[in-house]
Amino acid sequence: MARRGNKKGRPVSGWLVLDKPVGMGSTEAVSKVKWLFAAQKAGHAGTLDPLASGMLPIALGEATKTVPFVMEGAKVYRFTIAWGEERSTDDLEGPVVQSSDKRPTEAEIRNLLPRYTGLIMQTPPQFSAVKVAGERAYDLAREGATVEIAAREVEIARLDLIDIPDPGSAVLEVECGKGTYVRSLARDMGRDLGCYGHVAALRRTEVYPFEASQMIPLEMLEKIARDAADERERFAALDAMLLDPAAALEGLPEIILSDDAAARLRLGNPVILRGRDAPVEAPEAWASARGRLVAIGAIEAGMFKPKRVFSS
C-alpha cells in the first residue's frame, strides 16, 4: 500500500494582510507569499484584479479554516472613474465599446449616489469570475462569446464622492458587502449619467476585520527574506508579520476553556459551558485555551459544539 508523503513546507499559521501591488494577480500573490514563508498551505480572502492594488488578506496554515469569516466581511475601495468611455472589461484593460463627449457635473454625480446606496441589483462584468453554465464568465468572454449574467443583489453601505481632479474623472469611495463589483458601479453610473465610464484606478483599503494600518507591502517581505543572515533569521522575521488565526473572528463571542475541555473539543466532542455568565445560545462562536484558537462552532443549550477544530 502506498504511503502518504510528508507535506512540503513549514506548518506556519496566521494571517498576512498583504498590500498587493498593481500588475500582480491574487493567485500569483498567494503563491509568492507561500514561497517566502515556505508554508504548507495558503489561501486568500477576496480576489483583487491585477490592475487593482491594496488589501489582500492571505491565510497560512490553520488560518485557512477562518477564510469564510473574512470573505463575508465588509470591504472599502477607493477608485477613480474615467468618464466618456465604456470598455468591454469595465476597466483599462479592454477596448472601448461606447463613447460620449458628455461629462457629468459634480451636482449630477452627487444626485446619483443615493441610487447606489443600500440593497441594489447589480450585473457583474462580462470579464468576471462568475460562473455561467459551469464556466467562468471571463473564459467565455475571451473566446468572444456574449455572456448573459443575471443581476444579483448586493449591499452598498456608503458611496462617497471624494474628489473631481478634472472634468473627465471622479474619485469615489465605497463600503460594500460580498459580491460587489466596483467595475460594475463605474459602468452603471456612467450609463445613468449618459456619459459612459470605466474604472481607471482601484485600491482596496479595508477588508473587515482587518485595517489599513495592518497592511504589509510585498517589497518589505522580499527585503526581509533577502537581508536575513540565514533561514532561521528569515523565518523568525517573516513570522513576526503574521496575525493570529483568531484575528479573523472579531465580532464572534469567545469562549475560554480549560486544557481538559480544549482536548475534548480537538477530538470533535462537545463540551458543557459552566459558569454563571456562560452563554446559552450562539449560532457562531470560537473557543480558546491558553490564548490559542481551539475550535469554531455553535453554542446550543449551554453546550459548545465544534464545527472546525485547530491543531494545538
Domain identity same for 91 and 168: yes
Respond yes or no on whether the N-terminal peptide bond of residue 209 is cis (omega within 30° of 0). yes
CB 172 within 8 A of CB 160: yes
Q: Is residue 125 part of a domain?
A: yes
Q: What is the pLDDT of residues 63-77, one digit of tens each?
A: 999 999 999 999 999
Q: Which one from 49, 90, 91, 188 is the annotated catalytic residue?
A: 49
Claim to verify: residue 297 and residue 188 sit in the same structural domain: no
Cβ atoms 21, 51 nearer than 8 A: no
- Local structure of residue 91 (DSSP, 8 states): B
Q: What is the DSSP string of 105-163?
A: -HHHHHHHGGGGSEEEEEPPPSSSS-EETTEEHHHHHHTT-------EEEEEEEEEEEE
Q: Cα–Cα distance between 92 and 86 in angstroms, integer?
A: 10
Is residue 124 exposed (0-12), middle (13-18) or buried (19+ Cβ within 10 Å)? buried
| pLDDT given at position 142 | 56
Cα separations in angstroms, 277 against 252, 256, 274, 287, 306: 16, 12, 8, 15, 20
Task: Provide the 3-class DSSP secondary structure of residue 211.
Answer: coil
Residues 277, 186 within the same domain = no
Reported pTM: 0.89
- Shared domain check, 266 and 171: no
| Dist CA 140 CA 143 (whole Å) | 5
Residue type, 172: L
C-alpha cell at 235: 523565518
Which residue segment(s) compose the domain that 28 sits in?
14-72+210-245
The CATH number assigned to the domain holding 194 equals 3.30.2350.10
Residue 181 lies in a domain: yes
Residues 57 and 32 in one domain: yes
176 and 110 in one domain?
A: yes
**Residue in 231, 233, 252, 255 with CA at minimum distance from that of residue 304:** 255
Domain match, 67 and 214 both = yes
Cα dihedral across residues 175, 177, 182, 185: positive or negative: negative
User: How many residues would you count in the chain?
Assistant: 312
Residues 236 and 285 in one domain: no
- pLDDT for position 145: 57
Alpha carbon 259 to chain centroid distance?
A: 33
Taking 50 as the pLDDT cut, the residues of the chain under it are 1-2, 132-133, 137, 140-141
Residues 125 and 149 in one domain: yes
Residue 297 lies in a domain: yes
Answer whether 53's CB lies under 8 Å from 22's CB: yes
Instruction: Output the nine-digit C-alpha cell for 203.
Output: 485600491
Q: Is residue 31 part of a domain?
A: yes
Number of domains in the chain: 3
Same-domain status, 134 and 241: no
pLDDT in tens, 172-216: 999 999 999 999 999 999 999 999 999 999 999 999 999 999 999
Q: Residues 302, 182: one domain?
A: no
* pLDDT at site 261: 94
In terms of DSSP bridges, do strands 52-60 and 197-207 run parallel, antiparallel, or are they unpaired? parallel
Cα 139 to Cα 17, 304, 305: the distances in Å are: 29, 44, 42
In a domain, 227, yes or no: yes
239 & 258 share domain: no
Question: Which CATH number do you get for residue 299?
Answer: 2.30.130.10
Domain boundary among 176, 204, 232: 204
260 part of the active site: no
